Chain A
Amino acid sequence: MNVVSMVVNRLVWFVPTVLGLLAVVFVLARIVPTDPAVLAAGENATAEQVQEARERLALDRPLPEQFVEYLRQVVQGDLGTSFYTQQPIVDDLTERLPATLELTILGVLAAGLIGVPLGVISGLNRNSWLDHLLRLVSVLFIGVAPFWIAMQLQLLFSMQLGWLPLSGRIDDFAPEAMTGFLTIDALVAGDLQNFLSALRHIVLPTLTLALPGAAVIVRFTRTSVVEAVNSPSVAYQTAMGLPRRVIVWKYILRLALNSTVTQLGLVFGISLTGAVVIEAVFEWPGLGTYAVRSILHSDYNAVMGVTLCVGVLFALSNLLVDLLQMAIDPRGAT
C-alpha cells in the first residue's frame, strides 16, 4: 500500500467513525433529564425566552434534523456555544488543547522511554526473575485505575518526599503562550525559572500517564524481542560472530521497535483517555477537566465538542503512527 492510498483509506474510515461517535453522544445528550433550552436561556429566563431559545437552537425539531443541523455547523467549524462558559466551544477547546497535548505527547514519549528498554531487557532475559517481575508489574499497571496511580504518586513524591508539586501546571500563571506547550514556550523564551516550574509540574502527570502505556509497550517489546532473538537474521549474525551488543542494541532493538511502533496508536489512545481521567487529579487545565466540568453541568454542546476533539486527535494520531510506520519500515514504502 502506498502512502496516498493509506491516507485516503484512513480518512474514508475516519468520517463514519466520528459520525457514529457524535451520533451516540448526541443521543446521550438528549436523553439526560436536563432541558437544553432551559440551560441555553439561562437563569431567570421567562417561559417565552426558553421557548425562543428552543426555536433558535432548533430543539423543537425532530432529533435527526437537529443532528444534521449540528453536523452542518461542525463542518463550518462551529461547535456551538457552551452553556456554562458562554464562550464558543471552539475557543474553549483551543485554549485547553495544548495542555492536554503536551501531557499526552510527553506521556507517550515517556511510555516509550520506560517501556522499550524494560521490554528489551525482559525479552533478552526471558524467564529470568526480572522478566517475571516486569510481567507482573506491567499486568498490574495495565489493570490498575490511572487515578489510583496518580494519587499514589502524589502521596509519595509530593507529600512524603516533597520533591514535586501536587497539582497544577506551573507555579503562578503561565507566561504568554506561543505554542501553548509551557515547557517549550519557557525554553524558547529562555525563562529558566518557568521552565523548571513547568517541568516539575508535568513530571507526575506524565508518569501517571506513561505507566499504563509503558506496561503495554513492555509487553509488546518483550514479545517482539523474543521473536527477534529467535529470528534467522540474528542467528546468522551470531554465527558470524558479530558482538552481542551490536546485535542487541542495533539489530534486535530495531526489529523490536518496528513492531512496537504499531502499538503507539494504542498507547496514544491509552494516554489520551488517561489524560482525561487524571487531569482532574492533578488539576491539569486541559480537555479532561473541561470534559468533567461539562458533564457535571450538562453542558452537552461542550461534551460533544470534547468528544469530537478527542476523536479527531485519536484518528490523527493513528494516521501519524501509520505514516511513521511506513517511514521507518523500508518494506512499507515501495
Chain B
Amino acid sequence: MNPLLEIDDLSLTFRTEKGPAHVLDSIDLTMVPGEVVGLVGESGSGKTSLARAILGVLPGAQAEIASGRVRLDGIDMLDDGKATRDARGRLVTFVPQDPFDSFNPLFGVGTQLADIVRYRAPPATGHRLARSRRAREAMILDMLAAVQLPASRDLLNRYPHQLSGGQRQRLMIAMALLPQPRMLIADEPTAALDVTVQVQILGLLRRIAAERTLAVLFTTHDLGAAWEICDRIIVMYAGQIAEILPRKAFFAAARHPYTRMLLASLPKPGHQAVGIPGESASPLAPPPGCRFNPRCPLASQMCRTVRPLPSRSEEGHLLACHHPLPTAS
C-alpha cells in the first residue's frame, strides 16, 4: 500500500529566550491509510510538536525546521502553499486535547460545526443544492449520529459551556470527520475526560477509523489506551523515536530500556504507579548521543556520544538503542 504520511529525518528547533530548543531530532515515520498509530511519551517529549508539524501549523515565528520533510499524500506540509492550505483541515484534520478551550465560547456549537462544513467539507452528495444551508445541516445531523450524539438541532443551538466534556469531545470528533479527511490527528483526545468517557471515545475513534479507512495518529501518555486502539505504537523520548512496536508486540517484544521502564511503571493491580527516576531531558541542552543516556541504567560511553540509529529488528518493530534488552520471557 502507498504510504499516506511520510516523515523523513525531521528535526525541529524552537527559538526561545533561553536559546534554541531542539524539540524533534531526526524523526522518521510513515503511515498507510487506515492505520491507527499511537504516539507515546512523557510530557515535553515532542508529541504535540510532531502533530503540529504534520498539520503544518508550527508557530512560524519560533519554529525552525533544521532538516527533513513531512509529506501527506505527496503534499509538503511544511510548505505554505495553496496545496498545503487546502490539505489542512480537509485531507488531515485534528482532534484537540481540550475540547472545551478549543471551542469559541461565544458561538453556538452548531455555528462552529457549520463553518467547518462550509469552508472545509466537500459538497454533500445527493442534495440538489449541495452547498445550501439545509444540505450542511443535514450533513451535520448525520455526523452527530455517527459520533453517537442525539441528532438534534437543540444540541447545535447550545453553547460549549452548556455541554458535557464527552459531548464536546464527540463534537470535536464530528468536526474532524466532517471534511471527510484521510488522516486524523488526535492529540491526547481523552486527557480531559473521565475514565468511562475515555473508553467510549477511544472505542468510537477506533470504530470510525476502521469504517472510514482513516489513518489516525493518536498521541497519549497512556500506554494502556494506546494499546487498546492502535495498530502501532511509537515511543518517543525527548524528541527522538526510541522504539516503534506493532500492537501485538508491545508488551512482549519491547526491548528499549525506556519502553521497558514505562511498562514497568504502569500501575498494576495492588500497586501504586511508579514513575521513572530522573528528570526528562531538556530540549535546550539535550544530552549528546542517546538522549535517554542520563537516565538509562545501561548507558555506555558509546551511548553518550553516538546517537543510536533505528534498526528494524523484525517486521514492524523498530528500535533505536545501542544496548537493547533481550525480549522479555
Contact = CB atoms under 8 A, between A and B. Distances in A.
Interface in B135-190: 159, 161, 175-176, 179
B120 A331 contact: no
Given A246-B119, A254-B106, A239 B161 contact: no
Interface stretch (B89-97, B244-252, B263-271, B312-320): B89-97
Nearest to A228: B104
A232 B105 contact: no
Contact of A232 (B102, B119, B176, B179): B102
Nearest to A243: B119
Given A232-B96, A255-B106, A258-B106, A239 B55 contact: yes
A239 B57 contact: yes
A239 to B, nearest CB: 4
B103 interface: yes
B291 interface: no
A258 B159 CA distance: 15
B184 to A, nearest CB: 11
A242 B159 contact: no
A251 B120 contact: no
A318 B284 CA distance: 50
Contacts of A236: 94, 96, 102-103
Interface in B48-68: 52, 55, 57
Contacts of B86: 241
The A interface is mostly helix, strand or loop, or mixed, namely helix
User: Residue among A234, A250, A330 with the most chain B CB within 10 A?
Assistant: A330
A331 B52 contact: no
B116 A242 contact: yes
B188 to A, nearest CB: 13
Contact of B105 (A237, A246, A331): A331
Given A232-B102, A236-B96, A251-B107, A242 B89 contact: yes
B17 interface: no
A329 interface: yes
B98 A330 contact: no
B194 interface: no
A238 B85 CA distance: 10
Nearest to A329: B106
Given A239-B88, A254-B106, A331 B175 contact: no
Interface of B: 52, 55, 57, 85-90, 93-94, 96, 98, 101-108, 115-116, 119-120, 159, 161, 175-176, 179
Interface of A: 231-243, 246, 250-251, 254-255, 258, 328-331
22 contacts: A231-B101, A232-B96, A232-B101, A232-B102, A233-B102, A233-B103, A236-B103, A238-B57, A239-B55, A239-B96, A240-B89, A240-B93, A240-B120, A240-B179, A241-B87, A241-B90, A241-B120, A242-B116, A242-B119, A254-B106, A330-B106, A330-B108
